[in-house]
Structure 1
Amino acid sequence: MSHSDVEQMRMPRRRDTQERRDKMIAAAQREFAARGADASLEKIARDAGVAIGTLYRHFPTRLDLLMAAFKPRLQEFLDRANRALAMDDPWDGFVYYLENLFSMQAGDRGFNDFLSRRFPHNPETECIHDQMCQHIEDVLARAQQAGKARPDITQADIVNLIWSLGRIVDATSTTAPKAWRRYLHLMLDAYRAERAHSLPEPPMTTEQLYDAMVHLNETQ
């Protein structure tokens, strides 16, 4: 049997394997969006028409499947963050960044969970979260340097807003799916420089914020 004959035999198997993988990712995207990052892997496997063992052969851990499912949304999120940084008006860029962040959260409970937590033993997710945190710092710093955002707001305050609005998204998703926009814009008013007044507590430190995100993951 020639080498070309062997390759022709392998091609259908490779195609079948890729199709099976695509079905698992599509099923995971649907289930994570509806149920969150802790959705049943068994149901994902059933929806994809494969055994749970097949799912684990392709994705050894839940985090591997989460990353495969969220990859397109993560890229879209990071691209839009760069767009916010390129906007001429720093305050408009800050508002655009947060509007985009929460609109993506509102349509996908799993993505909401992913952005809210830290996974300290996974370098890939750590890199993505570091990029997200850097974007937050950059869009916020531009608005502060332009005198539009109050100077005492920090990255930790924005992450706390992610947690807060995430709960609102969960609570209102079926009854008032756009309610989160009201509360986002109430907070944006509070972030304006002309509204600033002294606060009774200092912001969380970087270490406190990181530990809180890890703890949130561990308690789910």
Structure 2
Amino acid sequence: MDKPCRGLRRDAERNRQRVLAAARELFAVKGMEATLNDVARHANVGVGTVYRRFATKEELVEALFEDGIDQIAEIAECALQHENSWQGLVWFVEQLCELTATDRGLREIAYSKAYGGYRVQCARTRITPPIAKLVQRARDDGYLRADIESTDMPIISMLAGTVSEWAGHVEPELWRRYVGLMLEGMRHCEHQDPLPVAALGHSQMDEAMQGADGG
């Protein structure tokens, strides 16, 4: 008697993943202006299928945001496996910036007041520890400026996204140039002047991200 139910559950989960994948592809290009109807067409499923999985666009955004945060956390954990702490940090920054430069939907969710809100604190709980460890490790090994903090990472990522938003239609890879410049600026050198302004604290970062106007 259980087999049909299990089959239905598997079908439902497949449909859910299909809708999520389609939404991720669509939002990456069009941003959050895409509707659930647009998602249904992109997934090649009926509108009812989308609404059974996600009753509102907010529910779909929530699922996509959680997936995005999980992806960033996995990148950070992978970066910690690099034996050289500077190489690990560079790889992390490049991967993080690629996400925000190429995925308009994730960028708008993460940095928009309309879609961020309470998610900011949840995301910080998930991704702050591995990012802080990456930064501290590179700093302790003498590769990273003493005044670079983990809260600098999302801002660097946002800058990459801004370059992509502004000039991506002309040169899709331009963001890499400025990420490279920022990474060079993050290196520790002898007799460096301190940066003119301190990094945001975590509570300041939460406040700034909750108040951002978005992409």
Please indicate, yes or no, whether the TM-score normalized by the shorter chain is above 0.5. Answer: yes
2:212 to 202, 211, 216: 216
- Whether 1:121 aligns to 2:121 is no
> C-alpha separation between the residues in 2 aligned to 1:130 and 1:173?
32
> C-alpha separation between the residues in 2 aligned to 1:203 and 1:96?
21
Amino acid at match of 1:121: Y
Q: How many angstroms does 1:126 deviate by? A: 3.9
Whether the aligned pair in 1 keeps the contact of 2:97 and 2:156 (CA below 8 Å) is no
Give the direction of change, closer, same or farther, for the CA distance of 1:145–1:40 in structure 2 (3 Å limit): same
Corresponding pairs, count: 211
TM-score by length of 2: 0.81
Query: Which runs of no fewer than 5 residues in structure 1 stay unpaired?
Result: none
1:76-121 CA-to-partner distances (Å, cap 9, x unmatched) read 4322311211222111111011011112233322223344358443
Kindly indicate whether structure 1 or structure 2 has the higher relative contact order, using CA contacts under 8 Å at least 6 residues apart. 2
Amino acid at match of 2:118: H
* Correspondences of 1:43-82 after superposition (within 5 Å): 43-48=38-43, 49-51=45-47, 54-69=49-64, 74-82=69-77
Amino acid at match of 2:187: R
Amino acid at match of 2:26: E
* Correspondences of 1:67-216 after superposition (within 5 Å): 67-69=62-64, 74-116=69-111, 119-122=116-119, 126-194=121-189, 196-216=192-212
Give the direction of change, closer, same or farther, for the CA distance of 1:77–1:201 in structure 2 (3 Å limit): closer
Give the direction of change, closer, same or farther, for the CA distance of 1:16–1:160 in structure 2 (3 Å limit): closer
Amino acid at match of 2:87: D
Give the direction of change, closer, same or farther, for the CA distance of 1:29–1:144 in structure 2 (3 Å limit): same
TM-score by length of 1: 0.79
Whether the aligned pair in 2 keeps the contact of 1:32 and 1:109 (CA below 8 Å) is yes
Q: Over alpha carbons, which structure has the higher Rg?
A: 1
Give the direction of change, closer, same or farther, for the CA distance of 1:98–1:17 in structure 2 (3 Å limit): same
- Residue equivalent to 2:16: 21
1:135-160 CA-to-partner distances (Å, cap 9, x unmatched) read 22211111111111111112232222
Amino acid at match of 2:197: E
1:48-76 CA-to-partner distances (Å, cap 9, x unmatched) read 3323x653442234343134346665444
Give the direction of change, closer, same or farther, for the CA distance of 1:94–1:19 in structure 2 (3 Å limit): closer
Whether the aligned pair in 2 keeps the contact of 1:116 and 1:159 (CA below 8 Å) is no
Aligned-residue identity in percent: 28
Q: How many angstroms does 1:10 deviate by? A: 4.5
Q: CA RMSD of the aligned region, Å?
A: 2.8
Query: Which runs of no fewer than 5 residues in structure 2 stay unpaired?
Result: none
Give the direction of change, closer, same or farther, for the CA distance of 1:191–1:8 in structure 2 (3 Å limit): closer
Amino acid at match of 1:127: C
Give the direction of change, closer, same or farther, for the CA distance of 1:159–1:80 in structure 2 (3 Å limit): closer
